[in-house]
Amino acid sequence: MKKHILNITRALFGAFLLLTVGCASKGYQNLNARYNGYFYADLYLNEVYQDFEDQYQYNFDEILKIFPVVDSSTVSSSKEKLDDAFKKSSQNIEWWETSDWVDDSYLIIGKIRY
């Protein structure tokens, strides 16, 4: 009887250990994907948006556009930040492919390409 209880205890401990290691790996990937890749890519993209907002001149005599026209000269001044954000998002997708933040990285890449 004691041997049977010992085997059950070992099996439960092994299952707990495997579950802990599996969840720790997922948590580790989520943590690194969010605060390494996604955070900095989102930060760079928000800086670019803020630069666009600061440079844009509103004309209140006409109907305001929902999405202001962005030309190549406006983008060229922020190209380095956009490239860094693209690189961070791409690395996030490559390195942490099972993370929950991969879809958000794809959205950032879509915003950069738009």
The Cα 105–Cα 26 span in angstroms is 17
Q: Encode the chain (114 residues) as per-residue pLDDT tens digits.
A: 677 787 888 888 777 765 665 556 788 888 888 898 899 999 999 999 898 888 888 888 988 888 777 777 778 888 999 999 999 999 999 998 888 899 999 999 999 887
- Residue 83 and residue 108 in contact, taking contact as beta carbons nearer than 8 Å: no
Q: What pTM did the predictor assign?
A: 0.70
- Residue 23 and residue 15 in contact, taking contact as beta carbons nearer than 8 Å: no
